[in-house]
Structure 1
Amino acid sequence: MYDFDSIVDRRNTSCLKWDSLGTLYGREDLIPLWVADMDFPAAKPITEALERRARHSIFGYTFPSDDYYNAVIGWMARRHNFKVEREWITYTPGVVPALSYCIRAFTEPGDKVIIQTPVYHPFYSVIRDNWREIVRNPLKLEDGKYHMDYNDLMKKIDSRTKMLILCSPHNPGGRVWKEEELKELADICIRNNILIVSDEIHFDIVYSGNRHIVLGSISDEIRDNCVVLTAPSKTFNIAGLQVSNVIISNEELRRKYRAEINKDHVSTPNIFGGEALIAAYNESEEWLDELLEYLECNRDFFIDYINKRIPKLKAMKPEGTYLIWVDCRGLNMSPDELKDFFVNKCQLALNDGGMFGEEGKGFMRFNIGCPRSLLKEALERIEKAIDMV
C-alpha cells in the first residue's frame, strides 16, 4: 500500500504551487488547490530510476532510447487499447509547447481554430499568440455536466476553419467523452477538412464507470485526421521533468510537425524525463491504481461535503482528472468579489473560472490531488466563511 495521506512540505523547493502564493495571490497563508500538479511523492520506481541516473554523474546530450519508445507503445496498448507504431511518436518537452507547434505546422496566420469552452486557459494564448483566430464552440451544461454542441459547431465552421483543439478528458469540467461523442465530433471535422489536435494529458486519471477513449483509436480514418498529445506528467506527478509525446500516424502531418519543432531544436529530451517515463510506464502501474482509488475517494468526499454542508455551491462530479469545477453563482458575488472571498475569507488559492472563458465566470476550479486532511481543512474554511457572510 502506498501512503497518500502524509503531508509532504513542498515549501522552499521552487514549487510553483506553494512558493508563488505571495506573488500570485498576495498572501502566503493559503492552502493551494490551484495549478494541476499533486502533493503526492512520485512512485518509488521513478525516484529510484532518477537516483540511478544521477549517480552516473555525466549528463550530456541524449535521445529517446528503444526502452523509451517501447514503454510508450506498451502503455498505450495496455491502458488504452491503442496500437501505436514507433515512428508515430515524437518527443516534445510539454503538451502546451506541442499545441503551439501544431498550430504553426498545420495552419496559417489568420486561420480559425475552434475550442470548446470553458476550457484549459493556454488554449486561448497558443492560438492568439500565433496570430490565429479563436472560434468558441461553447459546451452545453445539462444534467450537471457538459455536452458538446454539434449544431453550434457546424454553424461556426467556414472556409478559414482549419483546426479544432479537443480537451479529452475535459479540463476543467472533468468529462470523459464517450466514443459516440468523439465519433460525431470527428465525423464533422473530417467532412469539413478540419484537423483535430487532441490534448489527452489527463487520460490516465479516469474514475470507475468511465473509460477514456483515445481519439486515434476509434478508426483509421479518424486516426489519420488527428494529432494525439500525451504525457506521463499528470498521471505520475512529474510535470517538472518536461516530457510528453505527440502521436501522429499520418505521415504527411508527422513530417510537417517535425519540421516545425526542428526550427527550435527541441528533439533531444531531458535526460531525467526519459528515465522517469520508462520507470513510470513499465514499473509504476500499481502506484497509479492505488492513486486512482484515493483520488476517487477524495472526489466523493468533496462532492458529499459540498452537497450536505455547503448547498450554495454546486460541484460538478468529474468522470476524470483530479480537478473539480464548482459553480459558485449561488453566493451572488461578482467575479472579483468571488476571488477576494476565497483568498481573503477562505484562505484558499484556486483557479478563477473566468480564466477558462466567459462561460467560466462564477465558477472556481479545485485541485483534489492532495492528502484528504488538506482537502477537509479547505472545505471547512469555506463552510465557516460562508456562515459568516
Structure 2
Amino acid sequence: MQYNFDELITRRGTGCVKWDELPADDIIPMWVADMDFRCAEPIVNALRKRVEHGIFGYTHVPEKYYEAVISWFKRRHDWHIECEWMMYTTGVVPALSVIVKAMTQPGDKVAFLTPAYNCFFSSVRNNGCTVEEVPLVYENHTYHIDFEAVERSCADEKTKLFIFCNPHNPGGRVWTREEMERLNEICMRHHVFVLADEIHNELVMPGYEYIPFASLSKACLDNSVSCNAPSKSFNTAGMYISNIVCNNPSVREKIDRAININEVCDVNLFGVEAVMAAYNESEDWIDQLCPYIWDNYQALVAFFKERMPQIGITKMEGTYLVWADIRALGVTSDALTERLINEGRVKVASGTMYGERDGEGFIRINIACPRSRMMEGLERIARVINQK
C-alpha cells in the first residue's frame, strides 16, 4: 500500500499533548516526540475491528502477541528473542523506572550519556538514586562517546546501572557495533548492568543500521535488559504498551516484582492489537516513512544552510528529532525557545530539557510532519533568528 505522508491532518481538538497543550491555536508544534502522520492502515483496521466488538474489559496478552514481536526482531534485525525473556508494561518510561528500582538501591548511581532524554533524569531520581552524567563529545556536527569518561563513571563503586539510548535521543546517533561492544566491556569490567532503551529502533536513516544491543554477543545479552515498543516508530504512543526483554531469570524476577510494586503490570487492550498489527502487517509503512523523514531532514539542512548558516545542524542518523546548535547566536536555549513561541509562533524543545549542562546551546526540532508544515515552521524560525 502507498501512504501519503504529505496529508495535512487536523489534530487540534483531539486532546493530544503536541497540539492541545499550546497556549494559542496559531502556534506550530515541533517539540514533543510524536508524529503528525496517520497510522498504518492495518493498525487502524485492527483497532476499528476491536472497537466494533463493543466490550472493553481487562485484557489478556495472547501468545500471538509474543510471536509478532519475536518475528519482527528476527526478520528485521536478526535478533532471536525467546518468549520467556519478554515482559510487557505500560510504556518504555515506566519500564525504565521499574528496571532502575529492580537493579539499584537508593543512593546508588545510574550513569548515562548526556545530553539525554529528560525522563532518564526523573526515573533515576524518583527511585532515590543519583544521576551520573557522562558527557558525549560534540565535534563536526555529531557526537562521539568519551570512553575514558565512561570508564571513570563505571569505576565508581556506587555506579550500578548504565542507561544506553540507541538510536540516541536527542543526539541522533545510531551507535556502531564497535562502540556498543566497547561500552559493554567497560561496564562488565566494573560490574555495571546495561539498560538499553531502544524505543526509536526503526527510525534509522539511509546508510545506518540499528543493531539491538543484546544481539551483539552473549556477553551483551547477559549483561543487559532491553526496552522496546512500536510507539515511536509506528506513532502509537497513546496505546501505552512496551516490552522488556531480558534473558536472565533472576533479573527478570526482580523486574517483575518492581512492575507489580509500581502497579504497571496491566496494559491497554488496544495497545495489544496495535503491536500485533504493526509488527505483522505494517512493514511497508515504516519502509516508506523513514525515506520521507530523511527527505524532510535534507530539506531542513538546505534551508538552514541558506537562511540560518550560523546554526549548526547535527547529523541525524536516527529518530526524527533534529538537534540544532545555536551557540553562535549568543542566546540561551530557554530564551530562544521563548522567543520562537512568542514572536515566531512555533514551539521547539529547549536543549536544557536534556541536561542543563550538556543540552545548553541547543534546541530540538521534531520534523515528523508533512513537509509543507515543516517548511512553514522553519520559515517562522528564520524570521525570528534573522530579525535585525
* Bin of the TM-score, shorter chain as denominator length: over 0.9
- 1:215-242 superposed Cα distances (whole Å, 9 cap, x missing partner): 0001111101101000000011000000
Alpha-carbon distance in 2 for matches of 1:332, 1:302:
22
How far apart are 1:63 and its partner, in Å?
1.8
Are the equivalent residues in 1 in contact too, given 2:326–2:333 (CA < 8 A)? Answer: no
Residue 31 of structure 1 aligns with which residue?
Answer: 28
TM-score between the two structures when normalised by the length of structure 1? 0.97
Q: Deviations over 1:119-163 (max 9, x none)?
A: 101100111111101111100012211111110111223111100
For residues 235 and 363 of structure 2, what CA distance do their matches in structure 1 show? 22
Deviation at 1:96, TM superposition (A): 0.5
Which of 213, 216, 220 is matched with 1:215 structurally?
A: 213
**2:225 counterpart SS class:** strand
Q: Which amino acid aligns with 2:19?
A: W
Percent of pairs with identical residues: 45
* In structure 1, distance between residues paired with 2:366 and 2:263: 34
| Contact 2:334/2:350, CA 8 A, preserved across alignment | no
| Cα separation, 2, equivalents of 1:223 and 1:186 | 10
What secondary structure is seen at the aligned counterpart in 2 of 1:236?
A: coil
**Which residue of structure 1 lines up, in the alignment, with residue 185 of structure 2?**
187
**Distance (whole Å) between structure 2 residues aligned to residue 335 and residue 220 of structure 1:** 42
Q: Which position in structure 2 is the counterpart of 1:333?
A: 331
C-alpha distance in structure 2 between counterparts of 1:334 and 1:96, whole Å: 28
Q: What residue number does 2:10 align with? A: 9
Task: Specify the alignment match of 2:114 in structure 1.
Answer: 117
Which of 47, 53, 58 in structure 1 is aligned with 2:50? Answer: 53
What stretches of structure 1 move > 4 A for 4+ residues in a row?
none
| Residue in structure 2 matched with residue 375 of structure 1 by the alignment | 374
Partner of 1:90: 87
Q: Is the 8 A contact 1:92 1:243 kept in 2?
A: yes
| 1:99 alignment partner, one of 93, 96, 100 | 96
Match of 1:200 in 2: 198
Aligned residue in 1 for 2:231: 233
Alpha-carbon distance between aligned partners in 2 of 1:143 and 1:331, rounded to the nearest angstrom: 18
The residue identity in structure 2 corresponding to 1:263 is I
Residue 133 (structure 1) aligned with residue 130 (structure 2) = yes
User: How many Å separate the matches in 2 of 1:253 and 1:63?
Assistant: 24
The question of whether the paired residues in 2 share the 8 Å contact of 1:137 and 1:152 is answered with yes
What letter matches 2:255 in structure 1?
Y
Contact 1:62-1:271 within 8 A present in 2 as well? yes
Residue number in structure 2 paired with 1:247? 245
**Matched-pair contact (CA < 8 Å) for 2:98–2:262:** no
CA shift digits 1:7-57 (9 cap, x unpaired): 1000111110000011xxxx4421100000000000000000001111111
The CA RMSD over aligned residues, in Å, is: 1.0
Counterpart-to-counterpart distance in 1, 2:190 and 2:260: 29
Report deviation, 1:382. Answer: 1.9
Measured in 1, the distance between the counterparts of 2:49 and 2:251 equals: 37
State how 1:238-387 maps to structure 2 within 5 Å. 238-357=236-355, 358-387=357-386
2:130, 2:262 → 1: CA distance? 24
Structure 1 unaligned segments of length 5 or more: list them.
Answer: none
**1:385 CA displacement:** 2.2
Give how far 1:78 is off.
1.1
Superposition map of 1:141-152 within 5 A: 141-152=138-149
**More divergent stretch after superposition (246-255 vs 326-335):** 326-335
Shift of 1:280: 0.4
| Distance (whole Å) between structure 2 residues aligned to residue 195 and residue 53 of structure 1 | 40
2:69 to 67, 72, 82: 72
1:104 CA drift (Å): 0.6
Quick one: distance in 1 between partners of 2:141 and 2:385?
Answer: 23
Tell me the secondary structure at the aligned position of residue 185 of structure 1: helix
Once the 2 structures are TM-superposed, how far is the Cα of residue 381 of structure 1 from its aligned partner? 1.4
Kept after mapping to 2: 8 A contact 1:13/1:19: yes
Shift of 1:333: 1.3
Q: In the alignment, is the contact (CA less than 8 A) between 1:105 and 1:257 conserved in 2?
A: yes
Give the TM-score taking structure 2 as reference length: 0.97
